[in-house]
Amino acid sequence: MSEMNTKEKLLLHARRRFWTNGYSNVSLRQIASAAGVDVALVSRHFGGKLGLFEATLEGAFNIFETPPTSETELIEAFVRLFTETPRTQTEPSAVTMLLTNSFDEEVGSLVRDLYDRQFQQSLRDLLGPERAALFAAVVFGFSVAEKSLQVDGIAAPSSAEYRRQLEHLIHAAFSYSG
């Protein structure tokens, strides 16, 4: 970690804190301190707090090596986004980022638009609006119950049981006929 330059260090810790605690609940001094760097360098490298946050969104939903063509391919990638975390196990996932930031007054619309443009849109094109919506609802509900409310009875993510529960509901979403 010491072999990163300042920009990378800031970006790493910014993503960690912004994604898990929400944009408005994190101060630049907290991030800079965690990165072992002066606060002023944020404005220098990223133009300000908002610029730093936007930089953390780079490739947030970029989970395809190649754009998906079939339903199964897209669904598989989607499930992967929600069950795995981007780098290590301790890093917050893109789903957590959505839950903590989509309500924020300053970056809420930014985050929602990004999600819709980079993800929900392709879901809609492939599945149609109703099934795409139910699909997203199911998969987000799982994340909320697990990450946000920490409801008992939901298996640990990345476990086989978790996938089984999730796929059961996904199947239900697909069997919906408006």
Partner DNA sequence: ACAAATTGTCAACACTTGTTGACTATGAGG
Partner DNA sequence: CCTCATAGTCAACAAGTGTTGACAATTTGT
Binding stretches for a second copy (CB under 8 A): 20-22, 24-25, 98-100, 102-105, 112, 115-116, 120, 124, 128-134, 136-142, 144-146, 148-154, 161, 165, 168-169, 171-173, 175-176, 178
Q: Which does 152 bind (CB under 5 to 8 A by kind): DNA, a second copy, none?
A: a second copy
Length of the chain: 178
Binding site for DNA (CB under 7 A): 5-6, 26-30, 37-45, 48-50
Q: Does residue 16 contact residue 91 with C-beta atoms inside 8 Å?
A: yes
In the complex with a second copy, which residue's Cβ is closer, 77 or 133?
A: 133
In the complex with a second copy, which residue's Cβ is closer, 45 or 124?
A: 124
Q: Which does 50 bind (CB under 5 to 8 A by kind): a second copy, DNA, none?
A: DNA
CB atoms within 10 A of CB 166: 21
CB of 24 to a second copy, least distance (A): 5
Q: Which does 38 bind (CB under 5 to 8 A by kind): a second copy, DNA, none?
A: DNA
Give per-residue burial for 109-144: e unless 16+ CB within 10 Å, then b. ebbbebbeebbbebbbebbeeebbbbbbebbeebbe
Determine the Cα–Cα distance for residues 169 and 79; give it in Å rounded to an integer.
Answer: 12
Which whole-number Å values give the CA distances from 55 to 45, 47, 64, 128, in the listed order?
A: 11, 11, 19, 31
CB of 95 to DNA, least distance (A): 24
Q: Which does 85 bind (CB under 5 to 8 A by kind): a second copy, DNA, none?
A: none
Gyration radius of the chain over CA positions: 18
CB of 11 to a second copy, least distance (A): 22
